[in-house]
Amino acid sequence: MKRVFLLLIFVSYAQIVNAQYTDIINSKRPGFSESPYSIGTGVYQFETGLFYRYSNNESLLARPNSIGGELFFRYGKFFEKLEFNAKIAYQLDEVKNPFGTNYNINGISDLTIGAKYLIYEQIYTDKSKEIRSWKRKMAFDKKRLIPSVGIFAGVNTNFLSKHFKENELSIKGAILLQNDFSDRLVLLTNLIADKILSDSNEYSYIATMTYALNFKWSYFIESQGIFEKEYNPKFHFGTGIAYLFSNDLQLDISARTNFFDDFSFVYSSIGLAWRLDRHTDRVLQQRSPKKNRTKRGNFFARLFKKKN
């Protein structure tokens, strides 16, 4: 089918613009980091999961156990490089009571609305067509050391349950980086400023290395550092796997723990990502045809080239 489209392009002197959309679902899960690439126009995507968190922190305000669910909704509109998204989380927390029996609180704990935009895309050399030199074909492309760059901006709303409410609205911003070291190995780096303009602002980084074992299975390792004004830095390590059930459905499971703290912390999650694909290719008229490039999103979509 792709060859048929290319033939039509050549005859009519047109180019199919397909910058962000991928045939395979482009999911943020199961890691916490995010790719600078959007999901493409006309795509509605739902990424949801259940989580459990345990901690034996001796702090008087500690919450030893938490269970809950979260939904991350993504929608591509207007431009291929632009994506709108919203995240909502509902959880049940056990709160430590220093004067008696522990008690539970529950409700909506997070509701963030935002958008991201790809501002720079690194284009790599296609060495599959190099037939004159085996050395050049196998040599590492140094441009892969320069990442693609995206930005995110959002608002942490205060439409939360009373136990989780903040004093005011706050802003969240992030710089999103992606290095494709190969078709199978990808590094995501996020630099995040959260709760800006509030008294509890925090800064963090997330670095995620993803490797595809084959077309269906992939795994990741992740490092996260959180820096808050009134608390010591927190460092978390996570890992997990994902299974590509179909082009529009991904299943995943993950776990993470903490480093350098004097208490134990365990976080586990299981979930899925599903998309409703209403994407249509947009045709631009021009004098001469250009090569139709394949773009990669994140996790499975960013790890494999399009199949003919």
- pLDDT in the model for residue 75: 96
pTM, entire model: 0.81
Q: Where are the domains of the chain?
A: 23-118+150-277
CB 125 within 8 A of CB 143: yes
Residues of the chain predicted below pLDDT 50? 1-18, 284, 288, 290-296, 305-308
C-alpha torsion 189→296→299→203, nearest 10:
20
- pLDDT in the model for residue 107: 94
Bridge partner residues of 150 (DSSP): 118, 176
CB 207 within 8 A of CB 222: yes
- pLDDT in the model for residue 30: 92
Residue 160: closest CA among 107, 86, 85: 107
How are beta strands 43-55 and 249-259 bridged, if at all?
A: unpaired
The arrangement of secondary structure in 23-118+150-277, i.e. its CATH architecture, is Beta Barrel (2.40)
- pLDDT in the model for residue 254: 97
283 class by beta-carbon count within 10 Å (0-12 exposed, 13-18 middle, 19+ buried): middle
Whole-number Å distance between alpha carbons of 295 and 63: 42
- In tens, the pLDDT along 142-196 reads 888 999 999 999 999 989 988 888 778 899 999 999 999 988 999 999 999 999 8
Dihedral sign (CA 102, 103, 106, 109): negative
- pLDDT in the model for residue 111: 96
C-alpha torsion 267→50→223→217, nearest 10:
120
| Residue 87 token pair | 């995240």
